[in-house]
Amino acid sequence: MKLYYSPGACSLSPHIALQEAGLPFDLVRVDLKAKKLEDGTDYTKINPKGQVPALGLDNGDLLTEGAVIVQAIADKVPAKNLAPANGTSERYKLQEWLNFIASELHKNFSPLFQPVIPDDVKKFFADRIMGKFKYTDQALAGRNYLMGDHFTMPDAYMFTMLSWADRMKMDLSGLTNLIAYKARVAARPKVQDALKAEGLLKAS
């Protein structure tokens, strides 16, 4: 498999997923501005959306939406319990979290990374994000991870959003459950492996 990624982008989520799954894969870095790979290949000829993540499967198929990619990864290693079985109520709860993160957090972050958008508009989106983080903080009461005591695929995605919050210097200090959760996920060896591979954490 090949994971097309950009350091610290939303592709960090499936990168963590692949590390946690213990599956063999190649990392292929994408220059999102130039839409090119490091060897000069036009990335849009691989993924016409021009975005990351994209996961090239061994059978030649390409998956291009993060929430789908992480489920495909989890389903390859059912013994790892990274996602409940398809068709179960727990799987639908996992999909609920993935959709929440994608639509309520991920897409609200997008304007914050655009220099042409005015500061008052950015504040509007930042305030919306904080509201979603407050909901997540409440949902984490008495839980180690989003689905309970066990790390699953939405945790990789939520951790990526929390890393973006750090980049945007958002004040999460009052959200004690969320802060403890972020530290818990960050301490996982496979998460650290993904961060190091992307140059986001210095190798010790």
How confident is the model over 10-50, as pLDDT tens digits?
999 999 999 999 999 999 999 999 999 999 999 999 999 99
Going by pLDDT thresholds of 50, 70 and 90, the confidence category of residue 203 is low
Asked, for residue 202, whether it belongs to a domain, the answer is no
Q: What is the pTM of this model?
A: 0.96
Burial of 50 (0-12, 13-18, 19+ CB in 10 A): middle
- How many domains is the chain built from? 2
Q: Do 63 and 110 belong together in one domain? A: no
Domain hosting residue 14, numbered range: 2-80+191-197
How confident is the model over 43-62, as pLDDT tens digits?
999 999 999 999 999 999 99
At 190 the pLDDT is: 98
Q: What are phi and psi of 26, to 5 degrees?
A: -105, 140
How many C-alpha atoms does 7 have within 13 Å on its Cβ side?
8
Going by pLDDT thresholds of 50, 70 and 90, the confidence category of residue 204 is low
Tokens linked to 133:
């983080």
| Average confidence (pLDDT) over 77-81 | 97
Q: Do 74 and 104 belong together in one domain? A: no
At 201 the pLDDT is: 83
Instruction: Give dist(CA 45, CA 186) in Å, integer.
Output: 34
Q: Which residues, in sequence order, are CB contacts of 42 under 8 Å at separation 6+? A: 35, 36
Tokens linked to 110:
């997008």
Q: Do 71 and 109 belong together in one domain? A: no
Return contacts of 34-41, CB within 8 angstroms, 24+ apart: 37/4
At 161 the pLDDT is: 98
